[in-house]
Structure 1
């Protein structure tokens, strides 16, 4: 995506007009089937939003204007138009206050994870009782396991205690993010695989049904031949 500022045509109004003509009722219905609140949506898929974001170019100012519209795809675009370095903790937390959808949550965490120092937000988000804020904490864990390639594995070992502590949260959008984080940590490196797999097995033995479900999902993937083969190919640290 270009780092250039948007041209004059890309005002917030121009972007909304583009989204209006790109949406469809069929896509809105599809969003609803996937558990996305489509009440403020145009019905524009990510396959359209990503190329549009590249056409517009990075712009934190335009991103703020789009976010303030409250429209679903405008907020997805706002995330795509925001450089990771612009997601300072105060701005990140202000946006989190408005998120009520798993796709917004996960796209937001994907960008935030690329910002140095975003690990400091993980315990803050995970400790929050609100469903999508807590989900963002675990999504941030998962995405940092992918994007934060130069940080030491000790960061992710520390996350295992947070995963264990919140593994009893039965809310749909939370437990799915918890096992996502556990799986991504276990796939990050050979050194992290065994601790993550061990936690998965422990959760399988839990008295709590949500913990057992998370453990089973994570253990299945982390024990798979595909994951084990990939880990053997990773370079030594």
Structure 2
């Protein structure tokens, strides 16, 4: 913990706070620390229990994702209110855990929109890698009905799922683009040069163009 405090950088904190993250540790330095520590599950659990954001990010990097029980991950996800902690926990831990599908189903329709956003993120992963058993038309129905007025983090996850359906599944592409055009979610999102807009019709079109260009 003292080492994490020593890595605190006011400039990094200012940048992170703009994204809702309450820590000031440069992530490159945090990853270097994790590389030095290597995998240490017990230490990871202790770091997580501090509640400190930088400590929790470090915990995610040094834990064993498959070692967590289902209920442990459910509690951790519900505690993870900071965007970066939430994203890393889902992407670096939950997706690699054998309970990922069970948690996806449990979180998908959770009344807490932050928890539901994790369910949608795991669903997007399945859309891309293991769509068998998913009802893509039903997912598009839900997105069309609910995404426009969803809270920010849930809206972002639903939009990602919309784009992924359009990118990966030709039979649903036209409808996915049409939904995006009609809802206009993230149409005005500020996008740096040389980056792809998260506006689903633009995102789908660009990614399909790249795939076809290979």
Aligned with 1:29 (options 14, 17, 42)? 14
**Is the 1:58–1:83 Cα contact (8 Å) retained in structure 2?**
yes
- Which residue is 1:46 aligned to? 27
Aligned with 1:86 (options 56, 64, 67)? 67
Q: TM-score, normalised by structure 2?
A: 0.80
SS at match of 1:66: helix
Tell me whether 1:67 sits opposite 2:48 in the alignment.
yes
Aligned with 1:139 (options 107, 121, 129)? 121
Tell me whether 1:118 sits opposite 2:90 in the alignment.
no
Aligned-pair distance for 1:130?
A: 1.9
CA distance in 2, matches of 1:48, 1:143: 28
Aligned-pair distance for 1:75?
A: 0.6
Q: Which structure 2 residue ranges, 5 or more long, are not aligned?
A: 188-197
Aligned-pair distance for 1:221?
A: 1.1
Aligned-pair distance for 1:47?
A: 1.3
SS at match of 1:223: helix
CA distance in 1, matches of 2:64, 2:25: 22
Pick closer, same or farther for the CA change 1:221–1:19 going to 2, 3 Å: same
Aligned-pair distance for 1:124?
A: 1.9
- Which residue is 2:151 aligned to? 171
- Which residue is 1:12 aligned to? none
Aligned-pair distance for 1:105?
A: 1.0
SS at match of 2:39: coil
Pick closer, same or farther for the CA change 1:161–1:88 going to 2, 3 Å: farther
- Which residue is 1:201 aligned to? 178
CA distance in 2, matches of 1:104, 1:54: 18
Pick closer, same or farther for the CA change 1:120–1:199 going to 2, 3 Å: farther
